[in-house]
Amino acid sequence: MSAQLETPQQLSDLLRLHRTATDEQGAVDVETRQRRLQTAIDMLVDHHEALCAAMDADFGGRHVGFSLMNDVLGSLNSLKYARDNLESWLGPEQRQVFAPYDQLGAQAWVRYQAKGTVGIMGTWNAPLFTLFSPLASALSAGNRAVLKPSEVVPQTVRVLAKIVAQCFDPMDVAIITGGVEVGQAFASMPFDHLVFTGSTQVGKKVMRAAAENLVPVTLELGGKSPVIIGKSADIQEAARRLAIAKGTNSGQLCISPDLIYVPVAAREAFLQAFSATYSTLYPSIENNPDVVSVVNDQHMARIDGYLAQAREEGAEIIHCPDVPLPAQGRKRPLSIVINPPLLSDIMTEEIFGPALVLLTYSEIKHVLQEINSGERPLALYYFGQDAAEQDYVLDHTLSGGVTLNDVLMHAAMEDAPFGGVGASGMGHYHGREGFVEFSHARTVFRGAPVDPRGDWGMLPPFAEHFATAMASQVTR
C-alpha cells in the first residue's frame, strides 16, 4: 500500500493494518521513534524549495523567506527538539505506594506507551507547521500517523502527497488527500488520537465525529486574541512589535492579535507609531513581494464584509499604508477599525486577515471584564512595566498562552506546551507535554512479597475488630 491515500476505504484498510502491526510490535524502541522523526526531518530539508514554491502559488503571493521561517523551520524545530530530547522522556516514572504496602515491598510506576495511530488534520494558513509540529509529538510518543492537509492549498497538498509517499513507509506515516467529504470521513475514523487545527465551528464538528468512536482529541482552534497596552507600556516599542506581528502572514495566524486595548490618552501616539512602523515595513501593497496575499476570494470577501459593516455602522477605519486598494489580486493594506460597535462582526468573529480592532479604555478592570465576557482566546498579550498590573492581568484572565511585552513568541517555545482552552481548543503539543499528550500513561503496581491482610483480620470472615479498625482511620 502506498503512503498516499485518496479514499476513506483506503484509510480504513490502513488503520486496520496499523492496529495489527501495533499489537504485534509491542513497545516501540527509541531507535524506531528517532528513525521516523529523522525521516520527516530529511524530507523537509530535501524538498523545502518545492514546498515553498507551492505555498507561494497557493496564496497567490507568499515570500519564500516567510514560508521557510514559519513552516519549514518551525516544523524542523519541533521535529529536532523531539529527536534530541526523546531519550530523556522515556523510561518509567516511579510513584509513591500507599501505606502500609510501601513498607512491605510493593512498588508502583507509570510507563508511557504509544497509543497507536494519530490522525492529524492541518490547516491552510500554516500548511506544514500544523501537520509536522504535532507529528513531532506523535512520533516521539511512538505512534504511527496519518496526515490530512487542507484542501484550500492544493499545490502544497500535491507536493506533500508526493514526497510523503516517496519518503515514508505507510506503516509509519501516510497522507490522505481530498476535500470536505474526505475530511469528514477522516474525523469519523477510529484513530487512537485525533488532532485538528482550524476554526472553532469546524472543531466542534470534528469533536462530535470523534466522539462516535470515543477518540480523544487535541483541538488547536483560535479566537479573538486580545492585546492590552498598559499605562506603563513603552508605546513606541509596543506599537512597533505589534505592527511586525500583525503583518506576519497578513494576519492569517491563529494567534494573530485581533483586538488592541489602548489607554485613551495614548490613542494618537499609538496609532502614529503603529502606522509609521507598518508603513515602513510595507510601503506599498500591490506587487509587493513582502506582502502575503489573503489565501482566496472567499476569505477576502469575508474580511471585506466585516470592514463594510463596521464602516456602515459609523466606525472610523484607517489604512496602513494609506494607499489605494490594489486593482487586482488579494493583497491588502492593513485596516485598523477604531472603536466599532460591540456587536459588529469584526468584534465577534475571528478576523484572520489584514485587519484589526483598536479599542480605547480608561480602567483596566473594564478591559478584563470585556475580554472575559467572550470565549477564551488562544493567545493574550500584555505590554507594560507595572509588575502588579501584569500579575492582575494574568490572574484575572484565561487563555491558551501568553506573551508579555512581545507578540506571537510563546508559540515558538518547544520546551513548553502550545494549545488552547475552552473555545480556543483543548490539549497541547510541543516538548515533553506533547509526548505525554500522545502517550497512554499506564499505571503499573507490583504487589508486596507477602500479603498480611488475613493475619490482620481484613478478609472474610471478618473479625469483630475489623470495622473498629477501619473507623479509627477516618480522620481529618
52, 254, 320, 350: the active-site residue? 254
pLDDT digits (tens, 9 = 90+) for 177-211: 999 999 999 999 999 999 999 999 999 999 999 99
Q: Where are the beta strands (DSSP E) in 39-197?
A: 93-94, 107-114, 117-121, 144-148, 173-176, 193-197
Q: Is the dihedral of CA 390, 393, 398, 404 positive or negative?
A: negative
Compute CA distances 237 → 107, 243, 271, 276, 277, whole Å: 56, 10, 12, 12, 10
Strand partners, 4: 175
With bands split at pLDDT 50, 70 and 90, how would you rate the model's confidence at 325? confident
Q: Return the SS3 of 68.
A: helix
Q: Say yes or no to pLDDT of 221 above 90.
A: yes
Known catalytic residue: 254? yes
Question: Which domains, and CATH codes, for the chain?
Answer: 4-221+425-440 (3.40.605.10), 226-413 (3.40.309.10)
Known catalytic residue: 389? no
pLDDT digits (tens, 9 = 90+) for 298-323: 999 999 999 999 999 999 999 999 99
Task: Supply 372's cell numbers.
Answer: 472575559
Contacts (Cβ under 8 Å, ≥6 apart) of 230: 263, 364, 382, 383, 384, 385, 386, 389, 390, 393
Q: Return the SS3 of 443.
A: strand
**12/84 Cα distance (integer angstroms):** 33
pLDDT digits (tens, 9 = 90+) for 439-465: 999 999 999 999 999 999 999 999 889
Mean pLDDT of the chain: 96
pLDDT digits (tens, 9 = 90+) for 328-339: 899 999 999 999
Of 249, 321, 319, 281, which is closest to residue 59 (Cα–Cα)?
Answer: 249
Q: Where are the beta strands (DSSP E) in 149-192?
A: 173-176
6, 87, 167, 220: the active-site residue? 220
Give me the half-sphere count of Cα atoms (radius 13 Å) on the Cβ side of residue 188: 8
CA 264 to chain centre: 33
pTM: 0.96
pLDDT digits (tens, 9 = 90+) for 108-145: 999 999 999 999 999 999 999 999 999 999 999 999 99
Q: Return the SS3 of 5.
A: strand
Radius of gyration from C-alpha coordinates of the chain: 26
Q: Residue 170 has what pLDDT?
A: 97
pLDDT digits (tens, 9 = 90+) for 271-284: 999 999 999 999 99
